[in-house]
Structure 1
Amino acid sequence: MMEIAALYFISFCLLVGACFIAIGAIGLLRFDDAMARLHAPTKVGTLGVGALLIASMLHSDLFGEGWSMHEVLIMAFLFVTAPISANFMAKVTIHAKACEAPPKPSEQSKWSTLDVPEEDLEVAEQKV
């Protein structure tokens, strides 16, 4: 009885993972600008791959040769690198002025990437 319930849960994880990955791929193709395209593979795709890895871990534990650390390492690497790479791609897009710029900061706060002192702007323009 326990094996049947485990198979149903593994099948559910596989279906959820496949659906999230398909939604991420469709979003990557359908969104218009680069900033919107970042959300589909990094958010939805990561969740989909996580569900597939959970299904793989459960299947190998219940029906294979035992529990393995490979899936945990893949999941940890994926969950750490996906947000960092998306952040770098967003910063490059903003600095290349390939998208609509975020609003100007208020007097109390500063944007870490866009609030540049006037003297540094003059130096940057001279180098270009």
Structure 2
Amino acid sequence: MIGDIISSVLLLLGATMALTTSIGMLRFPDTLSRMHASTKPQTFGLLLVLIGAMIRLGRNVDVGMLVLACLFALITAPVIAHRIGRLVYQEQRARDGLIAREDMESGTRD
């Protein structure tokens, strides 16, 4: 009974975080802002949903897969966000004439 209530609350909170992600993606003007809106609450919302599902499943064998999904999300989300942010930043600098396209391709550090 209590586990079902906690699970439901976590699932609803996770769904709310996903909703805020979609609203942020629609409303924010530029790519960096949209990226921030899509990575922070989306990852946290996914973790809440997965934890709620783990509580609901109890001692089921599938809980191990949910733990792996949580770990995978925590490991990959920051790396992907960093790579996208770096690419967008360099593209904007190139568009504004602050960096040459050749410098972007050679892999020089900022």
Greater helix fraction, Structure 1 or Structure 2? 2
TM-score clears 0.5: yes
What are the Cα deviations for residues 89-111 of structure 1, in whole angstroms up to 9, with x where unaligned?
A: 11101111269x9xxxxxxxxxx
Give structure 2 stretches of 5+ with no counterpart. Answer: 97-107
How far does the alpha carbon of each residue in 1:14-65 deviate from its partner, in whole angstroms, 9 at most, with x for none? Answer: 1100000100111011100011011111100000010000011111116xx3
The aligned residue for residue 61 of structure 1 is 58
Residues 2-41 of structure 1: matches in 2 within 5 Å?
Answer: 4-41=1-38
1:88 is matched with which residue? Answer: 83
Rg (Cα) greater in structure: 1
Which one has more relative contact order, counting CA pairs under 8 Å at least 6 apart?
A: 2
C-alpha distance in 1, partners of 2:61/2:49? 17
* Runs ≥4 residues deviating over 3 A: none
1:43 and 2:37 correspond: no
Question: Unpaired runs of 5+ in structure 1?
Answer: 102-111, 115-128
Scaled by the length of structure 1, the TM-score of the pair is 0.70
Q: CA RMSD in A?
A: 2.1
2:109 to 95, 104, 113: 113
**Separation in structure 1 between the aligned mates of residue 109 and residue 30 of structure 2, nearest angstrom:** 20
Alpha-carbon distance in structure 1 between the residues aligned to 2:15 and 2:84: 25
Alpha-carbon separation, structure 2, partners of 1:98 and 1:25: 27
Write the distance in 2 (CA, Å) between the matches of 1:50 and 1:38.
18
User: In 2 relative to 1, CA 67–89 (structure 1 residues): closer, same or farther, beyond 3 Å?
Assistant: closer
